[in-house]
Each structure stands twice: as C-alpha cells, then as structure tokens.
Amino acid sequence: MDRDDVCVLLPTLDEAETVGSVIDGFRDEGFENVLVIDGHSTDGTQEVARQHGARVVEQSGVGKGQAVREGLTHIDEPVVLMADADGTYRPEDAESMLEPIFDGRAEHVIGDRFAEMEEGAMTRLNRAGNRIVNRAFATIHGRDLQDILSGYRAFTRDSVERYALRSDGFGIETELSVECVKHGTATEVVPITYGARPDESETNLHPVRDGANIFLTLYKLAKTNNPLFYFGSVGSVSGLVGLLVAAYVGYDFLVNDISHEALAVVAAAGIILGVQLVMFGVLSDIIVTVNREQTRRLEELAEQLSAGRESAPSASPDTDQPPRGTAASEDDGTTDHGGEHDDPGGTTPAEVGADGED
C-alpha cells in the first residue's frame, strides 16, 4: 500500500479559516485524494475546500457522526485517514498514523492527543472530561485505548464496514472505539501532536451537552458489548436502594413499633428487581460471549475459504480435460462420433445384432 490507497476524510462545519491550510498540508504530504464532507457551512467552507483541490460533498443530514457515516459511502480507497479541519491535527503525523496499517499490524489506528499536547489546546474542563471518559471506557469495555475521543484516526474500509455505526454527533469516536473492541479489530495507539485552535477558528463542541451525549453513548453501547455492566449496574443500584429502604422499615418497626407497609412493598420490589437485572445481565453476558466466539470462528472460516480460492491453480486451456460425454482414445486415435464406438474385432453393431440373437 501507499498514499494512493488512502483517502483523507475531513468533516467540516464553518471551517473556512482553517480548511484550506489543512488540505494543503495533507496534499504536501502526498495525499492527493482529500474528501470534505460539509455540514451546510455558511462561511464559504465548501468554496475554499474546492479551491485547494479537495473533493467536496454536502452532508445530507446534521452532526459529525452522520457526516462520517455518509462520507464513508463516497470512499473507494482501501484506507481512510480521518481528521478534523480545524488545524489542531498535524498532517505531518499522517505517516506514523498509517504505518501500522501499511505494515499489516493493525486495521485501526488512534492518535493519542495527550502524548504531546500544546499549551492551550484543551481546557481543564475538557481535559478532565476526557480522562473520565477514557477511564470509564477501560472499565466498561475492558481495554485501555488511552484517547478514545481522538478525531485523528486511520482505518481500513473493510474493517469499518463490519461496524454498526449509528451516532449522529460527537459520539462517533466513542462508537468507533467500542466497535473496535466488540469486533476484535487489531488496534494501535500512536502519539501525535495536538495543537491549539487558531484564534480565528471557533469550536463546534459544547462541553456539557456533548459530554453528556458521549457518556450516554458509552453506556448504551455497553448493552451489546458488556451486558453484565449494562444491566448489573442498574440492578445493583435498585437492590441497594431496596436494602436501604428495607433497613429503615425494619428499624422503625423494631425500635419505634411503627409499620410502613407501602415502603416495605417498595423495598421488596427494589430488591427483587435488582436481583433479576443482575441475573439477566449474567445470562446476557454468556450469550454475547458465545455469539462472539461463533462469529470469530465463522470469520476465520470465511478467510480460509477465500484464501483457498485465491491460491487454487486455475487450469490452462492446454491442460483442460475433455468434457464429460466425449470419449477420446489415446491408444488408437479414434474418436467417438454420435455415441458409436468402434468394435475391436471389426464387427459392426448391426452384425452383432444379426448373428448374436438368442
């Protein structure tokens, strides 16, 4: 593989001040195929992108996630290099991002922004939120990818086509990370430089609203990747609340001789619901584990069959065997015409019929 097999994907929304320099940076690095998927910008982003040689597609929906999903449908190259168009990611890091894929070590590469972050590139609130999200991801999904919210990624188109991507907003990076773990995609994390946004460029990220959506996406995706956590966490809270209410009811009845029938029912319901949810989470986790193993085996079998078909030698015209139904005699050079065979003794079928009647 080389740079001709790579398409640079840039989702944009009102990035006219920076998109031109970002496109030029990638083209200077040897990437001629740059796709800008624009979310109805009003500042001339599309015109600037075209002037700098990018292919521009106007987004049919809204949100970064929808832009990425739609952009993938316009890409035919086997490798996608995704970045933001705000000038925070360095095109010079593209080589290190693509190296694991070109070497066959990985199908998905994440750029770690925290490896070398310039001063002022991220607020304290955003930095704290990123740390919490990364820790929660490692706890819920069992793998530490260091910077799951990084927008600088490289991946093969074949790998991403297996993913069920549904996010419309900034949860797309979280969804990509979860799908990598869910499908066992070979993933590497490489250090990159993360710079501050230029003064004339404004961010489209709303820390509180988008942060809440990211946490919600992270939890919702646990349903199919870690159902024990998804159901068990709610079940544990329900059971704990039920136990606390039951403790209060028991204490008030034993000490003050006051009964709380309604609260007793609530406590019992909370405990029963909690136990049922935990049990359901355990059963779901077993089902998911078995299904994942069967899917892995089927994928391995499909790869083996595909490799077998590719390695099977094709017969050349000179060595083809004669089709079935055609008799070729290599001993006497005679050929069967019309289905009649020459008799070794020179007797024709008519003579045999005449002399050999019973």
Domain ranges of the chain: 3-223, 227-308
How confident is residue 319, by pLDDT bands cut at 50, 70 and 90?
Answer: very low
pLDDT at 316: 47
Adjacency order of strands within the sheet including 108-117: 55-58, 34-38, 6-12, 79-82, 153-156, 108-117, 187-194
pLDDT at 330: 43
d(CA 42, CA 16): 9
Q: Give the H or E element holding residue 29.
A: none
Question: Do 167 and 221 form a contact (C-beta atoms < 8 A)?
Answer: no
Query: Under 8 Å CB-to-CB from 169, ≥6 apart: which residues?
Result: 63, 64, 65, 210, 213
Q: Classify domain 3-223 by CATH number.
A: 3.90.550.10
How confident is residue 313, by pLDDT bands cut at 50, 70 and 90?
Answer: low
Dump pLDDT digits (tens) for 256-291: 889 899 999 999 999 999 999 999 989 988 988 887
CA distances, 216 to each of 7, 209, 258 (Å): 31, 11, 42
How confident is residue 201, by pLDDT bands cut at 50, 70 and 90?
Answer: low
- This prediction has a pTM of 0.73
Dump pLDDT digits (tens) for 36-76: 999 999 999 999 999 999 999 999 989 999 999 999 999 99
pLDDT at 138: 92
